[in-house]
Structure 1
């Protein structure tokens, strides 16, 4: 009887305790499902799908060196995964299936269906909490309920882990490699090629961040013209790196990192805790996966349905330089700076009063690091409809945000070259953009909304 490992969004070899356990149980087979139709329903970005396929190709070769065959099987929808998994298990005499848990509603329902079929067939199905440092359900308040405010969640999370000394099981080596047929390799169109997928390159990115950037992260993380962020978000979203492994590596360099939560070096750890917070929420409240407001009192909020304004936001034509530059960065690169994600989300939901769900979907359709829990949490935070969200009266001013975080307009000019001629002090303000630099017939578009008027409109709508 054999053991099978099921890869999901945990596309890593190292610090993958579920995979290690499968190998210790003698696993010689692993499986990954290409769920094109389901990904389409989930609005998964083509660039992220390309990154997934490139990583799976890499894993096929890497696993073969250790005598493990990774089978890639088409299963258009999650329900097809159940059928294909059972057929594979019968054909290969599988007695135990091991994987890492996923927390969104569709994924949880898929796993319930798998569990039911495994019970019928006498197959053991085991899921690990491989995507989290604190397992779902382990951080509760005194009433044994999920925290609804981040700060007390963080305090409890830190208290739980401050004295913890994590370890990562060693990767078992094998001298029994097998070959992989070329027909099993997935086609990649290369649109994600700027993001390496081999373990050596990813390890260098991790080391570069921890050794060179982490100490200064708090100082530069909000400046979009500087590469001050970790660059790890796509790898975290797809589980190519482990949050636990990252924490272990950081603790080796900063042993007191969890007991100095007010230090600058803790700032990035704080982002990891936010990530955990949103995953705990997704697991605790299935309604979030159904697109519902966390804060139900905003169900009565009347959103505007202006397609013209929404399209202007999507295409970077709002008339606010920082907002437009950020949206062009997203569409052109598949990634957006974290500070700018907050700015453009606030602009859509407060200045334009357009439903946060439309922005959430657009982000998922373009982000290479698209992650449902974090994306949903971030959008509901910006829209003031979420758990521990910003107050509805807090409305980012895109002009002052631009002046503060892109004072010389370096980022703006990178994505709005038509503004190269505008002086630094004027570049932050809404004005007519020179849209056609190749013609004497200058084309302009105005700001689609006045900041003061938009703010008053949003305040009135949210008060009602």
Structure 2
């Protein structure tokens, strides 16, 4: 099992609540087979544009097969919870069920409802989480109980992705009957590119078939940025990218309309108003897998359908959509290694997953005249709650050029010059051996599909797990991004301030503000930790090996609630991606999916000596220690360099590793014993 975790190298449908004979996995596979058959037929008939053919076929296959999976959600347990919102259609039975069967189903439904209702109490430490800023009560309820968190994974409470499935199923007939009107709209979110963008390609194909213009739309939501802890440098990167995207689309006579919606709850209503204003009946978007986004999309599917409009939400952010890979028991993999083997095998069996989508076609000649005000729409300034001063803007923009052209340029350069040596140098923070494309994956200026396809094409084989070690290792690291997004779909409680393993909520964490501030400021007295935190604070980025080191140090040396570190990362990273960041913190703090064992505690000194042996990284980010020679750089106060360190203002270690290690082991053991 690889020890490497991609925190933020940077959300798709789940299996049914109880594995049916025809599951979501079966539906996606049968759709894939139908799609491939259609593509081959087109090729046999001499089609010259397989890219657009794939898009059109994907859309037709989607409409043809979408109802298959949702019919599986007619179990009593699912509809017992759905009935609170909308009564389901009654199933017609071939013969009347026996009374015993009815009683059994009723008892099962009542049991699940009882479990769900009984889990509504808050976690005993919810107040502590609120006081320390872990739960933002302005937007979210108190920390849920462990019982309720488990209810999402057992199916006692429908997952948000399943609610979206139900919405799509219940509106399928209405949506199929809606005709294209004056325009088709694509809603840009975390997909700020015009190449290899599935929903955009489908929207373009729809507009082209109807002979109407395509409109791009991006809605600025300051409240979402605040609730989701979006960092100012990342918001700045997105806004700069919107300028690039607007110019790219304008060359195709496609407008990009950008508007700020101050209250996030008003976004659905505003979207409906804009569609009415533009005379558009069809809205396309790529799916996101966080809970807030899934719930918003569920309401939008229903609301737009009730108003005679169509909202098509499609998979794009993952190479393999969640729900297609399950273990032998039919569940989501909880360990990366077997999941990765299944991921590779699935792609090898479905090579069209790495087929890239064509950019949108050019709009009709009268599009500029028809929607002139949209072409004149400017990109707004940064929201006040995410503003940067002039010095910060200059600094971040020099380190992180924006847009999909820069993303492709950086990817090509990495694959040409560095990828072959990636396996050997990826863990050395002082080297420049990594791709530095995480910011582009997070903002969607580059798709994971393009990244893996480009790397694969550099290899001597088309296999993702064979050939050059550097290439295969890098692909396996990109795959972590898919893995953690799959986890969001099956374990939505990780989006709600709960660890993947709920029992770890019972650990008695420290909330020592002095220790936390020392960690944030890079003044703990542990050079490798401090150098990494200084790098983060200065450029909004930290090497992945260092992310693991500082996360382990916060959770296990300082015994501070890992969620405080998770939040700090999101508020400062330019490449902050919730799934990857949460997964990385879960690994390092031993509370997540496929984590390191809680008794494995990084020794910061040994990590420093192993991965920064000459101290180059430390000296770069800690000017106080630039004059310290040799191995003393790793531990100046105990290796004869304390005078230099003290003179230059570098602090002594705030804890003794051996003592706090023993304390951490005891805290983990005691916390896990609570529910035994």
Same fold (TM over 0.5): yes
The match for 1:299 is: 505
| Unmatched 5+ stretches in structure 2 | 1-180, 208-212, 383-387, 671-676
What SS does the corresponding residue of 2:186 show, helix, strand or coil?
strand
> For the aligned residues, what is the CA RMSD?
1.9
| 8 Å Cα contact 1:44-1:364 kept in structure 2 | yes
| 8 Å Cα contact 2:528-2:634 kept in structure 1 | yes
**TM-aligned CA distance change 1:278 to 1:77, over 3 Å:** farther
263-272 vs 372-381, which moves further: 263-272
- Aligned-pair CA distance for 1:181: 5.8
Kindly name which structure, 1 or 2, has the bigger radius of gyration based on alpha carbons. Answer: 2
- Residue of structure 2 aligned with 1:15, choices 174, 196, 216: 196
What SS does the corresponding residue of 1:427 show, helix, strand or coil?
helix
TM-score by length of 1: 0.95
The match for 2:184 is: 3
195-204 vs 336-345, which moves further: 195-204
The match for 2:588 is: 382
The match for 1:338 is: 544
- Counterpart-to-counterpart distance in 1, 2:554 and 2:537: 16
- Counterpart-to-counterpart distance in 2, 1:303 and 1:198: 41
Deviations 1:242-285 (A, max 9, x none): 11111221222213342428934211111122111100001111
- Counterpart-to-counterpart distance in 1, 2:275 and 2:360: 24
- Aligned-pair CA distance for 1:173: 4.4
Deviations 1:375-428 (A, max 9, x none): 000001111011111000111111111111111111101110111111121110
Deviations 1:132-153 (A, max 9, x none): 1001111111222111111111
The match for 2:169 is: none
| 8 Å Cα contact 1:105-1:289 kept in structure 2 | yes
Deviating 4+ runs (over 4 angstroms) = 175-183, 432-437
| Unmatched 5+ stretches in structure 1 | none
2:358 paired with 1:170: yes
The match for 2:329 is: 143
- Aligned-pair CA distance for 1:28: 2.1
- Aligned-pair CA distance for 1:329: 0.2
Query: For 1:226-375, what aligned pairs fall within 5 Å after superposition?
Result: 226-254=431-459, 255-260=461-466, 263-375=469-581
Which one has a larger percent helix, Structure 1 or Structure 2? 2
* Residue-pair matches, total: 460
2:415 paired with 1:223: no
- Residue of structure 1 aligned with 2:259, choices 57, 73, 78: 73
| 8 Å Cα contact 1:78-1:110 kept in structure 2 | no
- Counterpart-to-counterpart distance in 2, 1:44 and 1:433: 41
- Aligned-pair CA distance for 1:233: 0.1
| 8 Å Cα contact 1:397-1:451 kept in structure 2 | yes
- Aligned-pair CA distance for 1:7: 0.3
- Aligned-pair CA distance for 1:324: 0.2
- Aligned-pair CA distance for 1:113: 1.6
**TM-aligned CA distance change 1:25 to 1:183, over 3 Å:** closer
- Aligned-pair CA distance for 1:42: 1.4
What SS does the corresponding residue of 1:344 show, helix, strand or coil?
helix
Deviations 1:412-462 (A, max 9, x none): 01110111111121110153585787xxxx645210001111111111111
- Counterpart-to-counterpart distance in 2, 1:397 and 1:436: 23
The match for 2:400 is: 195
- Aligned-pair CA distance for 1:299: 1.9
- Counterpart-to-counterpart distance in 2, 1:183 and 1:92: 14
What SS does the corresponding residue of 2:568 show, helix, strand or coil?
helix
- Residue of structure 2 aligned with 1:36, choices 222, 232, 240: 222
